[in-house]
Structure 1
Amino acid sequence: MNTLPRVLVVDDDPVIGQSFDRVLSGKGYAVITASNGEEALRKLKDENYDVVFTDIKMPGMSGLEVAERIKASQPWLPVVIVTGYGTDANEKRAGEAGVSAFLRKPLTPDMIEDSAHKALLEKGAAATEPAAKATTPETEHGLNGIALFAKNVALFIASPIIGFVYVVALPFVGLGMLAWIGTKALFKL
């Protein structure tokens, strides 16, 4: 079952959340909004998201703080900074936090869609890295190349024999089950 990619938009201006929803929901995204950093962090604890867009200037916690906290707890989660207050210092701090992109307002629908798409590609690439480094059950149990080859050859030779046993035994098992069910039904009468 495929679920829609979940986008969390953190901005104290509800119009921004509505803009993201209008642009992305028609493109196959589920857009969820949070009006401040604290609410966003609560939502991130309770649910999984595929990308987070956060404004910098908000009451309480700034978007840069939100990004730093997210990257500290979920480094694989792409965070995109969206701001009308884009200074070089803010951009540098965002880069040090590991954000995926730094978008300056005003945003166009193409900017929103492209940044969401790029962030999802980034998340997909980050998700495949640990899988590539993961150990297989064979290496986990200490099987080297020769032992693994021998195991595979043995399975290759055994599989037709196992298949033949199933083909021969299956009718007998089926008939036995039919007889058992029939006997039970007969004695219930």
Structure 2
Amino acid sequence: MTPILSPWTRPASAEKPAPKCLRQRVLVVEDELLIGEIAAEALTDAGYEVFMAASAEEAEVVLRDMSVDLLFTDINLGGRDGFELAQTALSLQPLLLIVFTSGRSWICHGMCQSAGVPFLAKPYHLAEVVETVERALRVTAIQ
């Protein structure tokens, strides 16, 4: 028999973080859909408004239609790469922040570091995704 729980005996529901005053928008671009969805869910749970794209071409459509604060993109997207996407994105939205990610960290990390762009190596923990995005947005807010 299943016990009936009163409002006083129900377990407390997990509290979600309070939404940000001005919800910041993040575009996640990942050709591996499951990885992209998981990263997007972590950012949504952290209070961001998140959009997803599975390719550079899809991302450009989003960037033409709406303003976003940060582009979180894989470098190896199958077709055009994340670096090309970033160039196009910055021409469309010059104040856009960018965070790159890749499983080929030994090559890409050095390129990103020399350009002064945040890089997150795969595989990553979801907390690292949120921390990296928050750090990138916070650094810009201070400047």
TM range (shorter): 0.7 to 0.9
Alpha-carbon contact 2:56-2:81 (below 8 Å) kept = yes
Alpha-carbon contact 1:8-1:49 (below 8 Å) kept = yes
TM-score, scaled to structure 1: 0.58
Match of 1:91 in 2: 109
Alpha-carbon contact 2:24-2:49 (below 8 Å) kept = yes
> How many corresponding residue pairs?
123
Q: Given the alignment of the two structures, is residue 122 of structure 1 paired with residue 122 of structure 2, yes or no?
A: no
Match of 2:57 in 1: 38
Once the two structures are superposed, the pairs formed by residues 1-189 of structure 1 within 5 Å of their partners are: 2-88=21-107, 90-95=108-113, 99=117, 101-126=118-143
Secondary structure of 1:57 counterpart: coil
Change (3 A) 1:74 1:122: farther
Secondary structure of 2:127 counterpart: helix
Whole-Å separation in 1 of the counterparts to 2:77 and 2:45: 27
Whole-Å separation in 2 of the counterparts to 1:54 and 1:46: 18
The structure, 1 or 2, with the larger RCO (C-alpha pairs under 8 Å, 6+ apart) is: 2
Task: After the TM superposition, list the runs of 4 or more consecutive aligned residues in structure 1 that deviate by more than 4 angstroms.
Answer: 95-98
Deviation at 1:8? 0.3
Alpha-carbon contact 2:72-2:100 (below 8 Å) kept = yes
Listed one character per residue, the Cα deviations across residues 80-108 of structure 1 (whole Å, up to 9, x for unaligned) are 111101233x3344346553x11100111
Larger radius of gyration: 1
State the superposition RMSD in angstroms. 2.0
Change (3 A) 1:71 1:96: farther
Is the strand fraction higher in 1 or 2? 2
Whole-Å separation in 1 of the counterparts to 2:97 and 2:126: 19
Unmatched 5+ stretches in structure 1: 127-189
Listed one character per residue, the Cα deviations across residues 93-149 of structure 1 (whole Å, up to 9, x for unaligned) are 4346553x11100111221111110121133245xxxxxxxxxxxxxxxxxxxxxxx
Secondary structure of 1:87 counterpart: helix
Identity %: 33
TM-score, scaled to structure 2: 0.75
Unmatched 5+ stretches in structure 2: 1-20
Amino acid at match of 1:82: T
